[in-house]
């Protein structure tokens, strides 16, 4: 399952998202599938015209994430911002900011 941010109302039961309703898609790059994630899935999201694409790259040595925010341009995504742990990534409105290090915090 791929995390997405869509324009549905809270409480709507949605099993399948129409691409026109998706504002941002998040992809956690798998060490075994980085090529597929970077090329194939990137292409699929751009064809679907999803405006924002957020990649979560995990450093295999220290397991610390880096966030890469991309915006859809003419036919492909362009990187607009990047943040490592301890840095803030400004996301498109209305999403605010995020430190990749927050992804490492355990919930009680």
CB 84 within 8 A of CB 100: yes
58 forms beta bridges with 65
For 76, what's the count of Cα atoms within 13 Å in the CB-facing half-sphere?
5
Domain ranges (residues) in the chain:
4-8+15-101
Count Cβ atoms within 10 A of the Cβ of residue 52 and give its class: 0-12 exposed, 13-18 middle, 19 or more buried.
buried
Q: Model-level pTM?
A: 0.80
Q: What angle do CA 91, 97, 100 make, to 5 degrees?
A: 100
Measured distance CA(55)–CA(76) in Å, rounded: 14
pLDDT (tens digit, 9 = 90+) per residue, 12-70? 665 677 788 888 888 888 777 767 767 888 888 899 999 999 999 887 777 889 999 99
């Amino acid at each position: 399952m791929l995390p997405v941010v869509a324009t549905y109302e809270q409480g709507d039961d949605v099993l399948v998202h129409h691409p026109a309703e998706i504002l941002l898609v998040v992809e956690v790059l798998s060490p075994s599938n980085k090529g597929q994630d970077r090329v194939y899935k990137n292409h699929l999201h751009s064809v679907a015209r999803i405006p924002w694409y957020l990649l979560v790259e995990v450093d295999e040595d220290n397991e610390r994430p880096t966030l890469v925010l991309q915006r859809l341009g003419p036919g492909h995504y362009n990187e607009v911002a990047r943040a490592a742990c301890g840095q803030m990534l400004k996301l498109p409105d209305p999403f605010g900011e995020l430190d990749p290090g927050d992804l490492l915090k355990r919930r009680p």
